[in-house]
Structure 1
Amino acid sequence: MVKHYLDEAISELQELISITKQDIQNIQKADHSCVDEHTKKKNELVRKFEKTKSQLDSELIKLAQANSGTDLASVLSDEIKDKLGELRESLEILQKVNKEYAKSVVVVKEFYDSLLKAMLGVQNGVSTYGDGKNSSLADAEKLLKLRV
């Protein structure tokens, strides 16, 4: 059962990695057509992974209890140990890909924020857009939304 849960967890992580890499490519191409679909898929995969990981933990605890006094590493087969290493590696890859994705998202957000500020005539956090009176960026954004 441990092998089954390990295979399942690794598969879920690899799918998360794949989707996140696609998201990075889509950001670079300014293609946002898959954002909603990918977000739903990734949320579902995270939930599945959490459940699988919990089941794996339970199985490992059962093994440890059944072999009390014995080191768990000596109880596990080489194949299971390799799979645990693969799981760890997949988690590390996902972490790196998520960091890259986060950087891309921040860059895009900063670009849109600067574009919005330029469109609204914002200087030092104050806009003189519209009627010439000073107002906050939030007020200017509301005005823009009303006019659009």
Structure 2
Amino acid sequence: MSICQYCHSLLPSEKAQQCFACGWDWHDSSNPKQLGDPNWNRFGLDSQRDYVVELCLRPDGLRFTQYRQAETPRTDPDAVLETVPASGAQLIEWGFYKYADHLALTDGRRFTFDAHGIWLLETEAECIGGETRPYDDGNQSVWVNGIAPIFPPQ
């Protein structure tokens, strides 16, 4: 393995001419250039800011998550729960869905993601894994706001 001469990160091969960690590209050795923003991440988060993850639920049962800067108030009517704050750097490091292993909701409850990326409270996930399936017997009381999530067809 070789090392980037700009940021000293490991490069994927000895022949690499671009570093994906810092963005430097030296394919043209007489004109190396830094491509893109070295602080870019697929989350779109600033590593220096704190965020909460909003757990959103639409009236039709669609569940999704979104990030909100911790110091700004909740404005999305679909946001029904939120996590305690975490730094953007932590969220980036933990990755998609894995932040549920580290963050609790503001009321202390825990949540997880199913295999399709649908967020569920731990109590909801336990019902799905148990003998009584709330979506089979019509019991809506186990769901947040009484709204069953949309699950992909089986």
State the TM-score bracket (shorter-chain normalisation): under 0.3
The answer to which structure has the higher strand fraction is 2
The answer to which structure has the higher helix fraction is 1
Higher Cα Rg: structure 1 or 2? 1
TM-score by length of 1: 0.27
TM-score by length of 2: 0.26
Looking at both structures, which has the greater relative contact order when contacts are Cα pairs under 8 Å and sequence separation is at least 6?
1
